[in-house]
Structure 1
Amino acid sequence: MRRIEIPSAELQVSSYCLGTMYFGSKVPVDTSLTLLDAYADRGGNFLDSANKYASWIEGFSGGESERVIGRWLKDRPRDRFVVTSKVGFPYGDVPRSLRADVIVSECEKSLRRLGTDYIDIYFAHAEDAGTPVEETLRAFDKLIRDGKVRCIGASNHQAWRLAEAELMARAAGLPHYVVLQQRFSYLQPVVGADFGTQLPLTPEQTDFCARHGVLLMAYSPLLGGLYEKPEIPVPVQYRSEHSDKLLELLRRRAAEWGYTPSQLVLGWMLALSPCVVPEVTASRLEHLEANLREVDPAHAAVFAEEVASVDSFTVKYS
């Protein structure tokens, strides 16, 4: 698995990030550990988690994913892996907040659950309109200076909030967001699509990240298996003639080249300019191994050009 450098940080991450949202909850602990083994055996080093995973599942309270990662990391060289966590969304008695006290206290909890001295990338998981951005960045800055966090990222943020944080970071000598993780897939949302608290990647964000050396990451890249199963209806947020054309192209090319549609979608993301690192996950080993099969760069480039010819999303393609 190839490595991708985060332009504004001294980190190299795998081209496929392993999402661990349901590890230790919907995905049993033993299965979760097997999936982590398989990912590492394929050369993966990028593990994504959050403090609240998976508090919304009945019988769980949050922190389950982090505890599984901590158990798995215990007997492995810590510096081989890039581990993330997040703060901002509510769970249990923790409010939705990016206040300094919440950031610092939640970081301490995550460190204990992960069984590590530091988090490589600590994300502001959601916007907080009630907290000044300077307070948020100063809290992150303290964690970085204390050696508890290496760098910071943003998720589910609007473009203007990213710009506000960048301006504040420059003016006050505070840390910059080096990664942006948003909802993003091969199909494009229709205008006005509502995803609740999840915010999709926009052309403005793509341009901002390209200009400022911010790595793009995609969560929910495979839309819950939609690309593999024609019988699954396209979610209302994506229903359009444009989506129909993209699905036809995807399934035809995947069949011609011997890939699954999901594999081709993931390869396409890495062929974008700037590239988008997809977050892959699975509850079964065979599904993870299938999704980690890399697409020939030549095929990905051809496919990207074909998608561009019918695409309305203003991302440049390599």
Structure 2
Amino acid sequence: MSKIKINNTDLKITRINLGGNVFGWTLDETRSFEILDKFIEKGGNFIDTADTYPWWVNGTGGLSETIIGKWIKSRGNRQDLVVATKVGSETNEHTSDISRKHILQSVDESLQRLQTDHIDLYYTHFDDEKTPVEETLSAYDEIIKAGKVRYIAASNVSPERLTASFEAAEKNNFPKYVALQPHYNLIERAKYENDYLPLVEKYNLSVFPYWSLAAGFLTGKYRSEADFKKSVRGAGAKKYLNEKGFAVLDTLDKVSAKHGTSQAAVALAWLLAQPHIGAPIASATNQNQLETLFVATKLDLDKEDLDLLDKASK
């Protein structure tokens, strides 16, 4: 499978970023290993998790990193992977925190759970909006120089604080964010395209969208509230059951039928066709879902398809 390089790095990734939020939640360790094995077998190498996944199960998280770490150790394949994790998340036990103290403690805990000596891409998961950006970047500088982290990235950071971070990095010779992980998909476009895209272009960031399938809504399986029982995550799609949501689904139905593929594959292919998108983040709980992710990377949407999807989703 072909790979691309994350901007301003030497990290080469496949164009699907496997989401680790389901490991330890809807997938136990055995089934997580099966998905991870199949992902690698099909050519994938880019895995995304966080220090607090899945905190909504046990209040603190860490299960996802632990499972991935056990898998990496058992397979002996660390050198073949690009592993991304995050710091600063809010849990039942603490609010978001990107202070120096929290970062230095959290990175060591993540390394221990992942059973590795370095993290390839380390995200500011949530901004606490109070720690000076200089303090956060200084801590990142420290752990990069120690060899614990290779590159840093940002997720839920406001445009203003993101800009301030780049200005502080330039002024103080601190490391700069190389990637952005925004909430972006076919039905959630405005915030990213209006507020973040200009910064992505200005700072040459690679973009790895989360909730690429809008909590499963863009798979087409949730068309009424009665459908929510199909998954423990189903209720997350409730807000999309409106005129716009149904218009997007109708268009996905048409385009997927034209290409003889699934609505999910089309939704991911649309993301992959957008400027600056490196690899959408998507999880899989079975082999069919995993296959869909790889189908999307090979699906070539034409101008007519893209225009139809663009019109329905704006």
TM-score for the superposition, normalised by structure 1: 0.88
Aligned residue in 1 for 2:257? 255
| Structure 2 CA distance for aligned equivalents of residues 158 and 214 of structure 1 | 15
Aligned residues: 302
Name the residue aligned to 1:78: 78
Which residue number in structure 1 is paired with residue 231 of structure 2? none
Matched, 1:212 2:214: no
2-side partners of 1:299 and 1:155: how far apart?
Answer: 28
Change (3 A) 1:86 1:298: closer
| Distance in 2 (alpha carbons) for counterparts of 1:173 and 1:249 | 48
Q: Structure 1 residue 23: deviation in Å?
A: 0.6
1:246-278 deviations in Å (ceiling 9; x for gaps): 322221110121010000011111111122521
Deviation at 1:310, TM superposition (A): 5.0
1:109-167 per-residue CA deviation (whole Å, 9 max, x = no partner) reads 00000000000011110012121000000000100000000000111112111111111
Q: Name the counterpart of 1:165.
A: 165
Asked whether the 8 Å contact 1:264–1:300 carries over to 2, the reply is no
SS in 2 for 1:218: coil
Counterparts of 1:296 and 1:302, CA distance in 2 = 17
Asked whether 1:293 is paired with 2:290, we answer no
In the alignment, the residues of structure 2 paired with residue 295 and residue 179 of structure 1 have an alpha-carbon distance, to the nearest angstrom, of: 20
Aligned to 2:223: 231
Q: Tell whether the 8 Å contact from 2:208 to 2:280 is kept in structure 1 after alignment.
A: yes
Which has the higher mean CA deviation after the structures are superposed, 244-253 or 37-46?
A: 244-253
Paired residue secondary structure (2:111): helix
Following superposition, the deviation at residue 294 of structure 1 comes to 3.0
Aligned 8 A contact 1:38 1:289 in 2: no
Alignment-mate amino acid for residue 201 of structure 2: A
Aligned position for 1:133: 133
SS in 1 for 2:209: strand
The runs of 5 or more residues in structure 1 that have no matched partner are 192-199, 313-318
Greater mean alpha carbon deviation, residues 72-81 or residues 111-120: 72-81
TM-fit CA distance, 1:2: 2.9
Higher deviation after alignment, 276-285 or 116-125: 276-285
- The 3 A distance-change label for structure 1 pair 299 and 92 is closer
Letter of the structure 2 residue corresponding to residue 210 of structure 1: E
For structure 2, the 5+ residue unaligned runs are 226-235
Name the SS for the 1:154 alignment partner: strand
Q: Measure the CA separation in 2 of the matches of 1:232 and 1:161.
A: 39
Shift of 1:296: 4.3
Q: Which moved more, 1:300-309 or 1:211-220?
A: 300-309
Report the aligned-residue RMSD: 2.2
Partner deviation per Cα, 1:44-66 (whole Å, 9 max, x = no partner)? 111101111112214x6421111
User: 2:41 — aligned with what?
Assistant: 41
Superposed, which structure 2 residues align to 1:1-318 within 5 Å?
Answer: 1-58=1-58, 61-74=60-73, 75-91=75-91, 93-188=93-188, 201-227=192-218, 228-229=220-221, 231-232=223-224, 235=237, 237-238=239-240, 241-294=243-296, 296-299=298-301, 301-309=303-311, 312=314
Supply the AA of the counterpart residue of 1:266.
Answer: L
The whole-number CA distance in structure 1 between the counterparts of 2:300 and 2:291 is: 21
Partner SS state of residue 125, structure 1: strand
> Which structure has the highest helix share of the two?
2
CA contact (8 A) 1:268 1:300 kept: no
Change (3 A) 1:67 1:235: closer
| d(CA) in 1 for partners of 2:108, 2:31 | 27
Check the 8 A contact 1:271/1:297 in 2, yes or no: no
Percent sequence identity over aligned pairs: 29
